[in-house]
Chains A and B, each alone.
Chain A
């Protein structure tokens, strides 16, 4: 009777239910976070016994020209990708939030790239942006531009990746904005329009502020995404031409899995983690202020 009661207590049942998932998250989530930190203070190549070297990895990192190049590329990429994909998503969401004939088709057209994998997207754009036979150069030629080398051009490769990834993310951002737009109380918009406000003014002064939380979320979310850029670079350009598209995660991958310099790579990972934590903290901080402002 007593044993039965213990077995049915919320402590036991709760832990029994949570245990499998929590174990997986600890082993493949929490442990690696801590281990990464330790590795970043070690010299290790994934095979030998690690050697403790203190801050040496971080010191070397601060003087590594290739890391600097990667970081600059990440900043340039983010500075373009974030406003273009968030702004594009907002634009698409406003257009899609209309009841017009064919809206179902328009929505599918904007949303469907979301299910395309990074590799499938990269293959599609490799073909679209083919320097010799690509559709893009053909269209640009019609308006008197090009031809461009796109992914093969030292000056254009990074921007070509921006265009491609913006295409891939607009649908995602539009969905978030569309959900937020539908949360805007209809009474507010009607009240403003009865007061004689023009539609642009209603959008600027009523709708846009109410979209603030969604915008905040998307800016931070897409920034974190920008920092994670890897698949497209690995597959399309291999960091090139030269080092034109080297980005931190690509560099990290090369160091850890191709050159076996894992401790140093872990230091890069931790720098990225800190940047991401700062971005998340900013989001929470601004978010709190916004909530207070709204109430």
Chain B
């Protein structure tokens, strides 16, 4: 893939904030025919989520009615307490948090180092190795999971959180994202520091990374989401309830509580809460990260 096509696909503009962020409130009309399109669209998109939240506060009896009870008689927080008591939910939550944080940190460190090397250093075999890294970018995990399972088993990691962490500590996406970003930084700063006798590691940590906040935040947020939501790999490698992540735990919880819809909705809501919060706090990094996924092509 050539760099022209990459920019062609994503457009430079995606690294700019959406216009809405630039001048809020300017030039808006109070009513526009677009509301007639936007309102139904927004409703369709939020109904499944809103319905989950509503149901999570209902009683079992209220969920077993047709027509459905749209407004619960009272807000039953007890459902959330019941979930925490009936399943090792807190454990799954901590496992997921631990795995996700470890993977995010791993990616930030290792992809920064590698991204900088590929962006700025001329070392033996660099272009071939970079091409190899890029090649893995387009291979979906599903296609290679059988041998990956055998390798992880060989390492003795099956049914440990290590199985979820170690293989994901660095990835082609992060290396590529950071390399592209580092190349846009002015090289003069680095050259000046080199003349002053700074080491490469010093330059990376004291000059390059402080300028790379947007790219690092994007990588962190996207990696967080991927790891938090991953299901297939935990399904293949984790067997004990104690080592499960939330996604895997949710499926066992669903198996055990099929008819307790109210509890199931409360459990699902809790599993999504950290990501929802992160989304509201870091919306622009999510959007930038997804727009950058366009690079994956």
- Taking a contact as CB atoms under 8 Å apart, the answer to whether B117 and A14 are in contact is yes
**What are 22 A-B interface contacts by the 8 Å CB criterion?**
A20-B169, A20-B170, A21-B111, A24-B167, A29-B172, A30-B136, A33-B136, A95-B38, A99-B19, A99-B26, A109-B45, A111-B286, A115-B286, A120-B268, A120-B272, A124-B49, A135-B51, A167-B45, A183-B11, A228-B140, A230-B232, A272-B143
Query: Count of B residues near A, CB < 8 Å?
Result: 115
A219-244: which have CB < 8 Å to B? Answer: 220-221, 224, 227-228, 230-231, 234-235
A14-62: which have CB < 8 Å to B? Answer: 14-15, 17-18, 20-22, 24-33, 35-36, 39, 46
Q: Which one of A12, A15, A138, A288 contacts B68 once the chains associate, using CB atoms below 8 Å?
A: A138
Q: Does A104 contact B (CB under 8 A)?
A: yes
Min CB gap B57→A, angstroms:
14
Q: Does A257 contact B (CB under 8 A)?
A: yes
CA distance A142 to B283 in the complex (A): 37
B213-261: which have CB < 8 Å to A? Answer: 225, 228-229, 231-232, 235-236, 247, 250-251, 254, 261
Q: Does B37 contact A (CB under 8 A)?
A: yes
Query: Count of A residues near B, CB < 8 Å?
Result: 112
Q: Does A283 contact B (CB under 8 A)?
A: yes
Q: Does B55 contact A (CB under 8 A)?
A: yes
Q: Does B110 contact A (CB under 8 A)?
A: yes
- Taking a contact as CB atoms under 8 Å apart, the answer to whether A39 and B49 are in contact is no
Cβ contacts B2-23/A at 8 Å (1 or 0 each): 0011001111111010111000
Interface of A is mostly: helix
Name which of A79-87, A150-158, A168-176, A197-205 contacts chain B: A168-176
- Taking a contact as CB atoms under 8 Å apart, the answer to whether A118 and B229 are in contact is yes
Q: Does B210 contact A (CB under 8 A)?
A: no
Min CB gap B256→A, angstroms:
13
Q: Which one of A103, A182, A220 contacts B11 once the chains associate, using CB atoms below 8 Å?
A: A182
CA distance A49 to B171 in the complex (A): 31
8 tightest Cβ-Cβ pairs between the two chains A and B: A14-B123, A183-B11, A117-B229, A179-B14, A14-B121, A35-B147, A109-B42, A21-B114
CA distance A294 to B129 in the complex (A): 32
Question: Which chain B residues lie closer than 8 Å to A256 at the CB level?
Answer: 145-146, 149
Q: Does A254 contact B (CB under 8 A)?
A: no
Min CB gap A71→B, angstroms:
15
Q: Does B207 contact A (CB under 8 A)?
A: no
Among A102, A175, A288, the most chain B Cβ lie within 10 Å of the Cβ of: A175
Cβ contacts B268-297/A at 8 Å (1 or 0 each): 100110011011100100110011011011
Q: Does A78 contact B (CB under 8 A)?
A: no
CA distance A132 to B139 in the complex (A): 41
Min CB gap B17→A, angstroms:
10
Q: Does B211 contact A (CB under 8 A)?
A: no
Count CB-based A-B contacts (< 8 Å): 339
CA distance A226 to B27 in the complex (A): 41
- Taking a contact as CB atoms under 8 Å apart, the answer to whether A96 and B38 are in contact is yes
List B residues at the A interface (Cβ < 8 Å). 1, 4-5, 8-14, 16, 18-20, 26-32, 34-35, 37-39, 41-49, 51-52, 55, 63-68, 110-111, 113-114, 116-118, 121-124, 126, 129, 132-133, 135-136, 138-140, 142-151, 166-167, 169-172, 175, 199-200, 204, 225, 228-229, 231-232, 235-236, 247, 250-251, 254, 261, 264-265, 268, 271-272, 275-276, 278-280, 283, 286-287, 290-291, 293-294, 296-297
- Taking a contact as CB atoms under 8 Å apart, the answer to whether B123 and A15 are in contact is yes
Question: Which chain A residues lie closer than 8 Å to B254 at the CB level?
Answer: 123, 235
- Taking a contact as CB atoms under 8 Å apart, the answer to whether A170 and B45 are in contact is yes
- Taking a contact as CB atoms under 8 Å apart, the answer to whether A11 and B124 are in contact is yes
Q: Which one of A104, A128, A230, A270 contacts B48 once the chains associate, using CB atoms below 8 Å?
A: A128
Question: Which chain B residues lie closer than 8 Å to A217 at the CB level?
Answer: 9, 294, 297
- Taking a contact as CB atoms under 8 Å apart, the answer to whether A180 and B34 are in contact is no
Question: Which chain B residues lie closer than 8 Å to A288 at the CB level?
Answer: 5
Min CB gap B200→A, angstroms:
5
- Taking a contact as CB atoms under 8 Å apart, the answer to whether A21 and B271 are in contact is no
Beyond A24-B167, A25-B136, whether A31 also contacts B147 by CB under 8 A is: yes
Question: Which chain A residues lie closer than 8 Å to B148 at the CB level?
Answer: 28, 32
Min CB gap A291→B, angstroms:
6
CA distance A269 to B53 in the complex (A): 39
Question: Which chain B residues lie closer than 8 Å to A162 at the CB level?
Answer: none
- Taking a contact as CB atoms under 8 Å apart, the answer to whether B123 and A13 are in contact is yes
- Taking a contact as CB atoms under 8 Å apart, the answer to whether B49 and A111 are in contact is no
Min CB gap B285→A, angstroms:
12
- Taking a contact as CB atoms under 8 Å apart, the answer to whether A115 and B146 are in contact is no
